[in-house]
């Protein structure tokens, strides 16, 4: 039996920080003649309404005991709302375990990008899907070849989630991928699954090398980077109209984006347990 417990966002630190400082941040941008993109502003506005009765609610009645509860509307956003994000994460995990992965052996692959590419793909989000396709094709091809098949003879599968920020809310675009640990073939009308051995260190080095070269080639062809023999240069406009770009540049380098300590380096840390003077003789 589950007991409903009302979420009180106004009591959380994240909500209090956004509620207090977000208006100041908008005023700061306004003084510079800038505004946030509509989708960003809507994300914050909906977050501040999430779980608050004054912004709408449902009255729920138990059919048996006739007890009533008021349930506030949620924002259902995909940005940084911890409640709605956790609910969607739980629903997605259940779907994967119950219906998608279906008991097949799975290997998780996590791939991050160099800092300049994180900023570039944040600036051009449509290119992110192209980069993800390159990564997916490269890993899939490697898995198929390591099982002794050609791409036309076998298939593998993957579920990929793009994460855009780290534990310090810094911009760090990276990919969490769940790949089948093998391939599926069809022989005489029947499908079979063949397990593949774990990739070796040299296999991983080759995969990373292939991915990096293919991404660089694609971005160069798209006109987003320029390469010479020794270096690669990002090539995207630094226009004054774009209010997100300087914020993203500060975030990707752990720097304060605005205010009195603008550009100061922010160093996230993990607290360590206090040292003790107790010693044990062996």
pLDDT of residue 279: 47
Rounded to whole angstroms, the Cα distance separating 75 from 52 reads: 10
Q: Is residue 146 very low, low, confident or very high in pLDDT (cuts 50, 70, 90)?
A: very high
Cα Rg, the chain, nearest whole Å: 24
pLDDT of residue 282: 43
**Could you tell me what percent of the chain has a pLDDT over 70?**
86
Please, what is the end-to-end C-alpha distance for the chain in angstroms?
Answer: 52
Q: Are 75 and 87 in contact (CB under 8 A)?
A: no
Q: Are 71 and 58 in contact (CB under 8 A)?
A: yes
pLDDT of residue 218: 94
**Could you tell me what percent of the chain has a pLDDT over 90?**
40
pLDDT of residue 204: 96
Entry pTM? 0.78
pLDDT digits (tens, 9 = 90+) for 222-265: 888 876 655 555 555 555 456 788 888 888 887 877 777 777 77
């Amino acid at each position: 039996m589950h007991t409903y417990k009302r979420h009180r966002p106004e009591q959380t630190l994240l909500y209090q920080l956004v509620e207090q400082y977000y208006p100041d941040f908008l005023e700061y941008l306004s003084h510079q003649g800038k505004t946030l993109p509509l989708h960003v502003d809507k994300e914050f506005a909906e977050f501040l309404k999430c779980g608050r009765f004054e912004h709408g609610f449902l009255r729920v009645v138990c059919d048996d005991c006739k007890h009533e509860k008021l349930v506030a509307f949620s924002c259902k956003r995909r940005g940084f709302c911890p409640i709605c994000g956790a609910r969607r994460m739980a629903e997605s995990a259940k779907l994967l375990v119950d219906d998608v992965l279906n008991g097949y052996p799975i290997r998780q692959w996590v791939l991050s990008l160099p800092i300049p590419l994180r900023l570039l793909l944040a600036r051009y989000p449509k290119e992110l899907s192209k980069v993800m396709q390159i990564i997916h094709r490269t890993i899939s091809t490697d898995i198929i070849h390591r099982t002794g098949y050609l791409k036309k003879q076998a298939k593998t599968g993957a579920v990929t989630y793009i994460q855009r920020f780290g534990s310090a809310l810094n911009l760090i675009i990276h990919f969490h991928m769940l790949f089948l640990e093998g391939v599926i073939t069809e022989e005489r009308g029947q499908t079979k699954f063949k397990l593949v051995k774990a990739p070796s260190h040299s296999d991983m080095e080759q995969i990373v090398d292939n991915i990096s070269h293919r991404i660089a080639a694609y971005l160069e062809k798209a006109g987003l980077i320029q390469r010479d023999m020794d270096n690669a240069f990002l090539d995207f406009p630094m226009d004054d109209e774009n209010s997100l770009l300087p914020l993203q540049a500060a975030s990707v380098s752990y720097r304060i984006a605005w205010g009195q300590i603008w550009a100061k380096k922010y160093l996230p840390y993990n607290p360590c347990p206090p040292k003790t003077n107790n010693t044990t003789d062996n």
